[in-house]
Structure 1
Amino acid sequence: MKKVMFISSTGGHLSELLQLQPIFDEYDYHIVTEKTKSNIKLMDRFPNRISFVKYGTKHNLFTYFFIFPFNCILCLILYIRLKPDVVVSTGAHTGIPMLYIAHFFKKKVVFIETFANIRTKSLSGKLAYKIADTFIVQWESMLELYPDAIYAGWIF
């Protein structure tokens, strides 16, 4: 059974990622997201299958300057501990370091561009497109911006 890590930032990115729950049990899966008051309840929903990194937002650049590198180190530790065959992310800043780590170790990288973008690239999408083995868009119009992507429709 393939080991698959599902990773995203909190909020809408996590909501999109959790739409993939029907396929979780097809894999030896693990979820990684930011630790917040609302996300801590996911430990009950996914016992022994969820890990957290520190919550950080680029809107507070001073603290983000410290949190982002710390989370990159946490991602490397989680990657080494979990040894996934595939890493799937819906973004944003929490998922990108893990995608690059997986790419470095020559594992499969899957990125799903956010539903929120219909005509513009997200920063995460720009960074992930360069390394993703599979890049999925949820709007057909996004194929103009990401010509090698797969249009899969909405995950909601």
Structure 2
Amino acid sequence: MKVCLVGSSGGHLTHLYMLKPFWKDKERFWVTFDKEDAKSMLKGEKVYPCYFPTNRNLKNLIKNTFVAWKVLRKEKPDLVISSGAAVAVPFFYLAKLMGSKLIYIEVFDRIDKSTLTGKLVYPIADKFIVQWDEMKKVYPKAINLGSIF
């Protein structure tokens, strides 16, 4: 199984990295910002940089859609996992068209209100994971696995 882990640097990337017990023995690659925290955390991993800032930035959404097209066609992941933010959107929609399975993890600091990325990918995610029971009211089909932390 080949896994694509896509997310903004900072907390989103930290969420994905904390899933190491799942991804450590799988073929994988990462898509994140070319920033120092990401470089440090992902040293030795296969990483594709994406454009930032992403939130509500139409220009970088378009650029990241081209990045997603190129990377997904090359790598052909079986599974795409993200915890946000906006960079996940083009990767999820294009990966869905290419037959990949999608898992989205809504961020820990959202207890009773959706994120914009969560709203956008919820309809197409194969598994949508929340970390609080209250979020099941926001995302009825979500699975609450509790805190990643």
Q: What TM-score comes out, normalization by structure 2 length?
A: 0.92
- Distance in 2 of aligned mates of 1:117 and 1:155: 13
- Distance in 1 of aligned mates of 2:37 and 2:25: 26
- Distance in 2 of aligned mates of 1:138 and 1:67: 29
Letter in 2 for 1:4: V
SS of the aligned residue for 2:134 comes to helix
Letter in 1 for 2:98: F
Correspondence 1:65 to 2:58: yes
Aligned to 2:139: 146
Correspondence 1:19 to 2:21: no
- Large movers: runs of 4+ above 6 Å: none
Aligned to 2:35: 36
Which region of structure 1 is more displaced relative to structure 2, 69-78 or 25-34?
25-34
State whether residues 9 and 32 of structure 2, in contact with CA within 8 Å, keep that contact through their aligned partners in structure 1.
Answer: yes
How many equivalent pairs are there?
149
- CA shift in 2, pair 1:43/1:19, >3 Å: closer
Q: Deviations over 1:17-69 (max 9, x none)?
A: 1111122123211111111133222452xx242221122143xx6xx332221
Gaps of 5+ in 1: none
Aligned to 1:108: 101
State whether residues 54 and 87 of structure 2, in contact with CA within 8 Å, keep that contact through their aligned partners in structure 1.
Answer: no
Q: What TM-score comes out, normalization by structure 1 length?
A: 0.89
State whether residues 111 and 132 of structure 2, in contact with CA within 8 Å, keep that contact through their aligned partners in structure 1.
Answer: yes
Which region of structure 1 is more displaced relative to structure 2, 49-58 or 5-14?
49-58
- CA shift in 2, pair 1:104/1:15, >3 Å: same
